[in-house]
Amino acid sequence: MQEMEELWFSLSFLFIDNTIDYQQIATEIAMHDIELIEFHLFYNVAPECSANLEQTIPPIWVSFDKDELIQHIKKNGILDKAQITLARKISATIYRFKYRDEWATLTQCLMDYK
Q: Is a pLDDT exceeding 70 seen at residue 90?
A: yes
Least confident of 34-38, 49-53, 75-79, 109-113: 109-113
Whether residue 31 contacts residue 104, with contact meaning beta carbons closer than 8 Å, is answered with no
DSSP character at residue 99:
T
Q: Is the pTM of this model over 0.85?
A: yes
What pLDDT, on the 0 to 100 scale, is given for residue 16? 94
Number of domains in the chain: 1
Average pLDDT over residues 66-88: 94
What pLDDT, on the 0 to 100 scale, is given for residue 27? 96
Write down the mean pLDDT value for the chain.
93
Average pLDDT over residues 71-78: 95
CA dihedral over 78, 92, 45, 112, signed as positive or negative:
positive
Q: Is a pLDDT exceeding 80 seen at residue 1?
A: no
C-alpha span between 34 and 96 (Å, rounded): 14
Q: Is a pLDDT exceeding 90 seen at residue 55?
A: no
C-alpha span between 46 and 92 (Å, rounded): 8
Whether residue 64 contacts residue 49, with contact meaning beta carbons closer than 8 Å, is answered with yes
Q: Which domain holds residue 36?
A: 2-111
Residues found in the chain: 114
CA distances from 14 to 33, 54, 85, 101, 113 (A): 18, 13, 25, 11, 19
56 pLDDT band (50/70/90 cuts)? confident
